[in-house]
Amino acid sequence: MGIGPMLLFDKSTLESLSVDESGAIGGFGAKHHLRQSLVFLNVPAMAQPEVYLVGADKLFDAHGKLANDGTRKSLTSFLQAFDAWITANRKS
């Protein structure tokens, strides 16, 4: 990979959510590996808060709508923090 594709990511803002249906920690490992790759691409990722949705199959109803109020509140707080973080780290 040449430097051109790397520049596409340079200083882009990013955050990821880890979702795991089984309750295992596979999503945690995948998210950690993604963060390591992003360091190489010079992509700052928001450090806190982190989100790991475990047992996602129980958090949503049959239509895919979020049915857990606690998770809804946590995701709302996360998205508000991410919005503020994007604004603070926006490319000039």
Q: Which pLDDT score, from 0 to 100, does residue 13 have?
A: 62
pLDDT digit string, tens, across residues 54-84: 888 888 888 989 998 998 999 999 999 989 9
Helix (H) or strand (E) holding 36: helix 26-40
State mean pLDDT over 8-25: 65
Q: What is the pTM of this model?
A: 0.69
Question: Residue ranges per domain, the chain?
Answer: 15-88
pLDDT of 2 > 90? The answer is no
Considering 31-35, 39-43, 84-88, the range whose residues carry the highest mean pLDDT is 84-88
CATH for 15-88 is 3.40.50.360
What's the average model confidence in pLDDT over 27-54?
A: 81
Element (H, E) at 76: helix 69-88
The answer to whether the CB of 83 falls within 8 A of the CB of 13 is no
